[in-house]
Amino acid sequence: MGVLASAVLLTACTAGGDADTTTAAGSADTASPRSTTAGPPRNAQGRIEKNFGEPAGLNDNVSGEPAFTFILSNPRVNPECTGFWQITPNGQYLFVDVEAVTSVNYSQAVTGAGNRSVKQMADRSLRAGNWRGVGPDGVVLPSLISTAALNCDELNDDAFAEPFAPASTYRGTYAFDVPVGTKSIYLDMLGKDISWEWRIPETVIPGAPGAPSGF
């Protein structure tokens, strides 16, 4: 490919200035789409909105394929949980299952305009304490984990406590303590370069209203 490009440029130069200008313009037109890659749409808060069961993650700039993928599924509420201590929650428990998958080249993958390390962004990012929410009144919930939630046997994010290995699958369950009518939960990745948000379906919590570097 490099030899062919050189031959085209050489021909353009020997043919005169007009040909050279035409070739340069054609090269610019060809390269333009590559430099303006449109990312997924974001909401007013700059987050990519997802549905439960829909994959989210980070793409590798080199391969163009997902290097880190995770899926939230099966959201459900419960007035109590299983635990040694029976502690009353501040609101109600929201249980969510989560699965994360890494690619073969996970450790070497880079993403975003700054070619940031996918591994540095994703490792330990799925711990339950990293999640935030939007309450029924629209106010941000800075933490979804309470003393009551920590007592729940259903809370299992141990798989996300250590760095991820390439070509691996991890599973866990969140036990969040949220107000009734909570609108959504969201996750800001390292440095808030990319964020995802999941709206809580009305059928799950009564009263709830109906990037180049990620997907």
Task: Express each pLDDT in 90-125 by its tens digit.
Answer: 999 999 999 999 999 999 999 988 899 999 999 999
Residue 82 resides in a domain: yes
Cα within 13 Å of Cα(150), Cβ side: 5
196: Cβ–Cβ under 8 A, 6 or more apart, which residues? 47, 48, 49, 50, 56, 186, 187, 214
pLDDT at residue number 200: 95
- Residue 2 pLDDT greater than 60, yes or no: no
From edge to edge, which strands make up the β-sheet containing 131-134? 48-50, 195-199, 184-188, 131-134, 140-141
**Does 87 share its domain with 176?**
yes
**Does 63 share its domain with 128?**
yes
pLDDT at residue number 144: 98
**Does 59 share its domain with 16?**
no
**Does 57 share its domain with 26?**
no
User: In CATH, what number is assigned to the domain containing residue 104?
Assistant: 2.60.40.1240
Residue 134 resides in a domain: yes
Measured CA distances, 135 to 4, 77, 208 (Å): 59, 15, 9
Nearest-angstrom CA–CA distance, 60 and 182: 33
Beta bridge partners of 50: 198
Measured CA distances, 208 to 32, 40, 100, 137, 192 (Å): 44, 25, 27, 10, 26
Number of H helices and number of E strands within the chain? 4, 11
pLDDT at residue number 163: 98
Share above pLDDT 70 across residues of the chain, in percent, rounded to a whole number: 76
Which region, left, alpha or beta, applies to residue 124 given φ > 0 means left and ψ of -120 to 50 means alpha? Answer: left
pLDDT tens digits, 127-158: 999 999 999 999 999 999 999 999 999 999 99
**Does 79 share its domain with 27?**
no
pLDDT at residue number 212: 41
**Does 29 share its domain with 125?**
no
pLDDT tens digits, 43-67: 999 999 999 999 999 999 999 999 9
pLDDT at residue number 63: 96
pLDDT tens digits, 68-81: 999 999 999 988 89
Nearest-angstrom CA–CA distance, 186 and 44: 13
Length of the chain (residues)? 215
Tokens (6 digits) for 142: 């800075």
pLDDT at residue number 204: 78
Residue 142 resides in a domain: yes
**Does 65 share its domain with 146?**
yes
Binned at pLDDT 50, 70 and 90, residue 38 comes out as: low
Nearest-angstrom CA–CA distance, 70 and 107: 16
pLDDT at residue number 39: 74
- Residue 197 pLDDT greater than 80, yes or no: yes
Tokens (6 digits) for 127: 């711990």
pLDDT at residue number 132: 98
Q: Which domain holds residue 73?
A: 48-199
Domain count, the chain: 2
Tokens (6 digits) for 87: 């502690």
Average model confidence (pLDDT) across the chain: 83
Binned at pLDDT 50, 70 and 90, residue 36 comes out as: very low
The residue among 34 and 184 whose pLDDT is bigger is: 184
Are 91 and 179 in contact by the 8 Å Cβ rule? The answer is yes
**Does 27 share its domain with 59?**
no
